[in-house]
Amino acid sequence: MTVATDARVSSLDRMLDDSQVGDTFASDMFAVVDALEASATLRRAVTDPGTPESARQALVHGLLDGKVDQAVVDLVAEAATLRWSGGRTFAAALERQAVRGELVVADRRADLEDTEDQLFRFARFVESNPDLRNVLGDRAIDRAKRQELVGELLRGRATDSTIALAQRAVAARERTFAQTIEGYVTLAAAQKNRVVATVRVAKPLSSDQRNRVVAALTKQIGRQVAIQEVIDPEILGGVRVELGDEVFEGTVSGRLEAARRLFE
């Protein structure tokens, strides 16, 4: 994302934060995104910098007024006044707000942390099952059928927001299902001003160990940290923490590898 695009996305974030997000906000916004993705003509019409802002806003209102959540209409109309590098960038910015809208609803239901954890776990489950991963990523299979499969796997085992977002992730905007889910998990953590750290361990952490890891990472980066625990038999012992592009190695295998390199 460029600095300019970042600034525009941030302005939409602030607008959503100040909006009254209804229960249908996310599904309505996803429908708008799908309509944009399906029509290059529509994407050009709402993002053409040669068209006056007022005309682009009028087009949005003409298409959406009375048909979707008013907060969706207002946000899309505002987004249409901004200068985007292309129609797909515009659609991606709106999709981000749809995801954030679903997370706002999850938070309102006191389901946000469960949704965050369930999305992470489901992505791990999919990645560990090559046949399932291939089916969900096969664009030759109708997307609705792939979404139905996700619903069948999660129904009764996850929050409504987890199911809605996992089904949406089948579209794989970030190249793969797992990468798209990873983006959702990051947005869920950001909803509470937290960052996500992946903690790889040989065996499950105790409650006390989790608290100590969270406290240490929070102190180091100066922000609250949400940890996602991954059991990895290759760790041998200790903890490996992945925080964005940074890796903190405190494992036996890591120390052995460092020692081995000394003799190369």
- 152 and 80 Cβ atoms separated by less than 8 Å: no
Higher pLDDT, 124 or 236: 124
Give a yes or no: residue 133 inside a domain: yes
**Domain boundary, last residue among 156, 184, 212:** 184
Helix/strand/coil for 228: strand
Domain that holds residue 135: 112-184
Angle subtended by helix axes 87-108 and 177-190, to nearest 10: 60
Beta bridge partners of 227: 197
- 202 and 231 Cβ atoms separated by less than 8 Å: yes
**What values do phi and psi take at 128, rounded to 5?**
-85, -5
Higher pLDDT, 222 or 116: 116
26-73 per-position pLDDT tens digit: 999 999 999 999 999 999 999 999 999 999 999 999 999 999 999 999
Same domain, 101 and 121: no
DSSP assignment string, 90-143? HHHHHHHHHHHHHHHHHHHTT-HHHHHHHHHHHHHHHHT-HHHHHHHH-TTS-H
147-195 per-position pLDDT tens digit: 999 999 999 999 999 999 999 999 988 889 999 999 999 999 999 888 8
Per-residue pLDDT averaged across 244-250, rounded? Answer: 73
In terms of C-beta density within 10 A (0-12 exposed, 13-18 middle, 19 or more buried), how is residue 17 classed?
exposed
The C-alpha atoms of residue 60 and residue 129 are separated, in whole angstroms, by 42
**Domain boundary, last residue among 49, 74, 108:** 108
Same domain, 35 and 91: yes
The C-alpha atoms of residue 55 and residue 182 are separated, in whole angstroms, by 37
Helix/strand/coil for 227: strand
Per-residue pLDDT at 134: 96
Would you say the pTM of this structure is higher than 0.85? no
Q: Residue 243 — pLDDT band, cuts 50, 70, 90?
A: confident
Per-residue pLDDT at 81: 96
Give a yes or no: residue 50 inside a domain: yes
Per-residue pLDDT at 256: 43
pLDDT at 2 over 90: no
Per-residue pLDDT at 259: 44
Same domain, 98 and 55: yes
Q: Provide the domain count of the chain.
A: 3
pLDDT at 23 over 80: yes
